[in-house]
């Protein structure tokens, strides 16, 4: 196993992690920003106010993007498992 192979596997793992976390983090960021703007405009400084919308959006994002996220991680894992014999030698 060469250092280039290890680097490639690590790079692919980081890319898969970014793709899986992206929809959830992006939606939470967007909702947090929107709620923060509403709180700033109305001067309502309740910390728990942003929790429920973020939670609902994250659940919706998981429902919508969940199957895609699962297929990405399954495909990466399958690809990694299939490469094991060539990586050992």
Q: What is the largest CA-CA distance in the chain?
A: 64
Residue 76 has pLDDT above 80, yes or no: yes
Residue 88 has pLDDT above 90, yes or no: no
Task: Tell me how far CA of residue 38 lies from CA of 1, 22, 42, 43, 88, in angstroms.
Answer: 54, 24, 6, 8, 56
Q: For 41-72, what is each residue's pLDDT tens digit?
A: 988 888 788 889 999 999 999 999 999 999 99
List the domain boundaries for the chain: 20-83
């Amino acid at each position: 196993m060469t250092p280039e192979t290890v680097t490639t596997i690590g790079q692919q793992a980081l890319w898969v992690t970014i793709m899986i976390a992206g929809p959830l983090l992006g939606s939470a960021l967007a909702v947090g920003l929107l709620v923060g703007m509403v709180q700033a405009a109305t001067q309502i400084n309740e910390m728990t106010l942003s929790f429920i919308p973020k939670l609902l959006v994250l659940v919706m994002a998981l429902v919508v993007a969940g199957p895609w996220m699962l297929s990405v991680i399954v495909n990466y894992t399958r690809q990694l498992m299939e490469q094991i014999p060539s990586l050992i030698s």
